[in-house]
Amino acid sequence: MNTPIKRITLRLIPAVLLAAVLTHRSAEAAELRACIDQSNPAHAMDTSIAHAVAKQQGLTATIVPFDGSGDDDEGLALSTFPKLLASRCDLVMGFPLDAQSGVAPQGTRATTAYAHTGFVLVTPKHAATTLDQLPKGSEVAVTYMTTPNLYFSDHPRLTAQVFTSDAETLKAITHGDVAAAMLWMPYVAGHLDKTSGNKLQVSPLSEPHAQWNLVALYSDASQSTAQQFEQGITALRGNGHLQKLLMPYGELAGAAPMAQPHKVVLRRDTPAGHLIKVSGKAEKSVPVLFSPQQAATGKMAFRTNCAICHGPELEGRAGPPLKGPTFANPDANFHVGDIFKIVAENMPAPAPGTLPKDDYVNIMAYILQENGYPSGSKALSFDDAMNSKVPLIYHAEPSS
Ligand code: HEC
């Protein structure tokens, strides 16, 4: 006797739920949910921008805070961003993209830039505005694993003092312990107090990968919100409001602010300056791994993507040499597969893993050729390169 009533009640439940979901959905359409990294020195600026854009576009801004500092030296995993976009927000604000070569993390897209920022040179007033102007032998403070750290792997004129945090790097220059410091502009803007600020000058750094753009990340699902965001930014730029929001950071050479410096993933230790003789026996057994066409194509890809840091002749610059007995050192007990893994997963340093697979394979062929490996009729494949157990040893004379 109860049964019919029960059935009706049960059928009603899903209907009620559905109604709730639909109501919620339509409320969301007028919302801009912005994920903002609280560890980013420019998070207050991003919050103001999100509110201003939302207001301009008639949306309700919801700020979703997250901690982007990461749990260890490696910083935040790039996979965090698609996850945030899938579950918590329409946009992730304040993502820094290298102005020359930056790409959005996999599974996300980037809006056009709403600000420009980068690494700056901090020196005592009138001391220097570029690295070149610093006297030979000057000590320069940098933060470990930030881009400026790379400039010193083999600097002919300057010595790096490497600190583990931006706070310590800034302290070294405000205390006068070093001739200069290289820091992330938004950090400097937020932390240089008036007293020391008056004695110091801050100049944009004219070195590779010092200029960055700030963008918002979005996903396919939040494309229309991203479009509204871009329209809002354009409108705010047009009426001068955006410049004001960027202000605390924007005083520098038209530069404006943003997030966390990209971290560079540490690789293996190369025993520096350790030279090894290669025995004649090893030379005879050098296997053929790649075709001459691959090495030739790889040379061009190398020039485009790697030479800026590793030198056009692989001789090394900001990055280590990729040719010779220090690089391909038998004592290091490294294999072709190990080095290829570094290349394909961690390089080019500013945008790891972003090149087409063929480019990585061709570049590997070129590096091997330059280290004296012979070419032949067999082409190298991506999987073979990854799994290769062929020892990485420099063969002084090309053995082909
Ligand atoms: C912005 C500078 C930069 C660019 C561009 C760059 N690298 Fe690097 N690379 C580095 C630095 C710095 C290191 C050393 C990092 C470390 O060991 O912590 C490195 C390390 C390496 C290593 C490991 C060397 C060793 O002996 O352990 C290889 C191999 C390498 N890079 C290949 C490449 C290739 C191939 C490209 C182009 C696709 C490339 N790199 C682009 C900066 C760069």
What is the per-residue DSSP string for 125-167? TTS-SSGGGSPTT-EEEEETTSHHHHTTTT-SS-EEEEESSHH
Contacts of 293 by beta carbon, 8 Å cutoff, 6+ apart? 379
Burial of 75 (0-12, 13-18, 19+ CB in 10 A): middle
Q: 128 CB less than 6 Å from ligand 1?
A: no
Residue 153 has pLDDT above 50, yes or no: yes
Atom of ligand 1 nearest to the CA of 367: 35
Q: 364 CB less than 6 Å from ligand 1?
A: no
pLDDT (tens digit per residue) in 281-293: 333 457 789 999 9
Q: Specify the length of the chain in residues.
A: 400
Within 10 A of 104 (CB to CB), how many other CB atoms are there? 20
Q: Which residue has the higher pLDDT, 222 or 350?
A: 222
Q: 354 CB less than 6 Å from ligand 1?
A: no
∠ CA 347-353-357, rounded to 5° = 105
Q: 339 CB less than 6 Å from ligand 1?
A: yes
pLDDT (tens digit per residue) in 52-64: 999 999 999 999 9
Residue nearest (by alpha carbon) to ligand 1 atom 6: 348
Of the residues 309, 327, 331, 382, which should be mutated to test ligand 1's pocket, given the most ligand atoms within 8 Å of the CB? 309
- Tell me the domain boundaries of the chain: 28-115+214-250, 117-204, 280-387
Q: Is residue 119 classed as helix, strand or coil in its secondary structure?
A: strand
Name 376's bridge partners: none
Which whole number is the average pLDDT over 370-377? 90
DSSP structural state of residue 104: P
pLDDT (tens digit per residue) in 63-111: 999 987 765 444 567 788 899 999 999 999 998 888 777 788 888 999 9
Residue 214 has pLDDT above 50, yes or no: yes
Residue 273 has pLDDT above 50, yes or no: no
The secondary element (H helix, E strand) that includes residue 180 is strand 180-184
The beta-strand segments (E) located in the chain are 31-37, 60-66, 91-98, 109-110, 115-124, 139-143, 159-163, 180-184, 200-204, 211-218
Residue closest to 120 by CA, chosen among 180, 203, 219: 203
Q: Is the peptide bond preceding residue 348 cis, with omega within 30 degrees of 0?
A: yes
Q: 342 CB less than 6 Å from ligand 1?
A: yes
Name 36's bridge partners: 65
Residue 258 has pLDDT above 50, yes or no: no
Residue 21 has pLDDT above 80, yes or no: no
Count each helix (H run) and each strand (E run) in the chain, helices first: 16, 10
Place of tokens 């996850």: 83
What is residue 261's predicted lDDT score, i.e. its pLDDT? 36
Q: What percent of the chain has pLDDT over 70?
A: 80
Q: Which two tokens stand for residue 290?
A: 């790649």
What is residue 105's predicted lDDT score, i.e. its pLDDT? 84
CA dihedral 34, 39, 45, 46 (to 10 degrees): -20
Distance 200 CA to ligand 1 centre (A): 33
What's phi and psi for 208, nearest 5 deg?
-60, 140
Q: Is residue 237 classed as helix, strand or coil in its secondary structure?
A: helix
The domains spanning 28-115+214-250 and 117-204 adopt the same CATH topology: yes
Contact 252, 197 (CB under 8 A): no
Residue nearest (by alpha carbon) to ligand 1 atom 18: 266
Q: 325 CB less than 6 Å from ligand 1?
A: no
What is residue 116's predicted lDDT score, i.e. its pLDDT? 85
pLDDT (tens digit per residue) in 106-132: 889 999 989 888 889 999 988 898 999
Q: 305 CB less than 6 Å from ligand 1?
A: yes
> Per CATH, is 117-204 categorized as 3.50.50.60?
no
pLDDT (tens digit per residue) in 164-204: 889 999 999 999 999 999 998 888 888 877 777 778 998 88
Give the Cα separation of 318 and 51 in Å (integer). 40
Q: 43 CB less than 6 Å from ligand 1?
A: no
Q: What is the amino acid identity at position 289? A: L
Distance 346 CA to ligand 1 centre (A): 8
Contact 142, 148 (CB under 8 A): yes
Confidence of residue 249 (pLDDT cuts 50, 70, 90): low
Distance 310 CA to ligand 1 centre (A): 7
- CATH H-level, domain 28-115+214-250: superfamily: Periplasmic binding protein-like II (3.40.190.10)
Residue nearest (by alpha carbon) to ligand 1 atom 26: 327
Q: What is the CATH number of domain 280-387?
A: 1.10.760.10
Distance 317 CA to ligand 1 centre (A): 10
Q: Is residue 32 classed as helix, strand or coil in its secondary structure?
A: strand
Q: Which two tokens stand for residue 54?
A: 């939302």
